[in-house]
Amino acid sequence: MTHKYIGTKEIVAWPQTRDVKHPADTQAMVQDGYAVKYPDGYISWSPKEVFEQAYRRCEGDGQALTFGDAIHFLKLGHRVARAGWNGKGMFVYMVRGSRAWNEHTPSPSFVGGVNQDHFDRGDTGTVTRMPNINMHAADGSTVTGWLASQTDMLADDWMVLPQVAAQPAFDPSVPLSGFQKYKGLNPNVADLMSAATRDAKAAVPVEYRNRVVFTSEECPGGMEATVRWKYTPPGTEQSAEDRGR
């Protein structure tokens, strides 16, 4: 029995012409196309029309990806954005989930329909936290649990952003700070604190974390909240305000 299938694969390609000669012709014709290099190193050639119907560029200029393509790259850990967004520096990204793990208990392949590959392993008793898609807004704030609009889902102007360069090694003599900000109805400060703590742990080694302080601010009316963290280097006097927290 035959069935229909759909697949996604990443390849490397470059424009390349080829001389094509039919048995009835006396002179070869030049045909536009692409050389295609597959992950196993095999190189083939594809006519221009066939190639451009099957593949879409996913790096650099000229990207025109679908929302489905964007989700695919989010799951791979990339940042994605739309060319049609007006705000500068806006992008969305996926935060991995976490769940309890025990080497004696086999893990299910899916959690709530989501592949277990998108979860980090926590200790036994860890509360399951589902992966979520967040937005980095134009003002630098984080929109936790970003929801795509109808236009976002139907748009064909999505693009994959370059990977972020590796962070420099931690220097204990350099002050550090960061924040998590939420704009919307009834922000969950506990979730923001958890996210800010994750950021601080990623930036500051464990032996210096006793010098990290957290502050939270809630906007009257329950429409906005911010959690900030600040690292003060050893030998540097912390302010009275910091010491009091």
Residue 176 has a pLDDT of: 92
| 225-236 b/e (C-beta count within 10 Å ≥ 16 → b) | bbbbbbbbeeee
Give the model confidence (pLDDT) of 187-230 as tens digits: 778 888 888 888 888 889 888 999 999 999 887 777 788 999 99
**Worst-scoring range by mean pLDDT, 14-18, 43-47, 121-125, 201-205?**
121-125
User: Domain ranges in the chain?
Assistant: 12-54, 67-160, 176-243
Residue 44 has a pLDDT of: 92
Quickly state the pLDDT bin for 236 (edges 50, 70, 90): confident
* Alpha carbons within 13 A on the beta-carbon side of 52: 9
Q: What angle do CA 16, 18, 57 make, to 5 degrees?
A: 30
Q: Count CB atoms within 10 A of the CB of residue 70.
A: 24
Give the model confidence (pLDDT) of 142-197 as tens digits: 888 999 999 999 999 999 999 876 667 888 999 999 888 887 777 778 888 888 88
What pTM does this model have? 0.63
